[in-house]
Amino acid sequence: MGINPASTKTKVGEIARVCIYCGSSNRLLLDHFIPKSITKSDRFTVQACHACNFSKRNQHPKLWYFRHFSFKSEWNSILADVGLTESEIDAWMTPPPEQCFLRTKLPELMKSRGLDQKTLAGETGLSPTTVGKLYRSHFDRIDNHTVTTLCKYFGLRKLDDLIEIIWEEDDIEGRQV
């Protein structure tokens, strides 16, 4: 897939024809370095291999990069190629103040039963990755199967016994949660 220079800030990867993240030249795709769901445009597009593009999805580029790679010098090179600073990326990736944060009560529930993440995953059939993300409240979505499995396992009758909504301080007034 070619990149339309008129609609992009950068043409990284187009010259070298390699993935900006891992250097692969296999199955290159257009990737929105800052997710299109945030910018609502084709700004900040780069070339990425199929594996990196679909793994990254709409995640924070730096957090995703360091979960998969550990090359600080390469990250600095990527920033230079894209033409963004870390503070500019953070500004784009910071949710608007009207948004909220979902936090699971999994750490407290597990502690009350003396469970670790591996044991919970084994006893519920949930993947260790899913349990880990929920434990750290680092998830974009949670499906019905996961919710019902955890509620049944811990004997919970209400969703707010498993997950709580944390609103921005300025957004709490006048809101019944």
Is the confidence at residue 3, as pLDDT, over 70?
no
SS3 41: coil
Is the confidence at residue 10, as pLDDT, over 80?
no
Residue 50 in tokens: 């199929």
Confidence of residue 90 (pLDDT cuts 50, 70, 90): confident
What is the spatial distance between Cα 58 and Cα 136, in angstroms, rounded to a whole number?
Answer: 19
Q: What is the pLDDT of residues 26-72, one digit of tens each?
A: 999 999 999 888 878 888 889 999 999 999 988 889 889 988 887 77
Percentage, residues of the chain above pLDDT 70 = 82
Q: Which long-range contacts (CB under 8 A, 24 or more apart) does 117-124 make?
A: 120/153, 123/153, 124/149, 124/150, 124/153
| pLDDT mean across residues, the chain | 82
Is the confidence at residue 120, as pLDDT, over 50?
yes
pLDDT value of residue 69: 85
> Over the Cα atoms of the chain, what is R_g?
20
Q: What is the pLDDT of residues 141-175, one digit of tens each?
A: 889 999 999 999 999 999 999 999 887 654 444 44
Domain boundaries, the chain: 5-92, 100-172
CATH number of 100-172: 1.10.260.40
**CB neighbour burial string for 27-60, b if at least 16 within 10 angstroms, e if fewer:** ebebbbbbbbeeeeeeebbbbbbebbbeebeeeb
CB 27 within 8 A of CB 49: yes
pLDDT value of residue 126: 96
Residue 120 in tokens: 């919970």
Percentage, residues of the chain above pLDDT 90 = 44
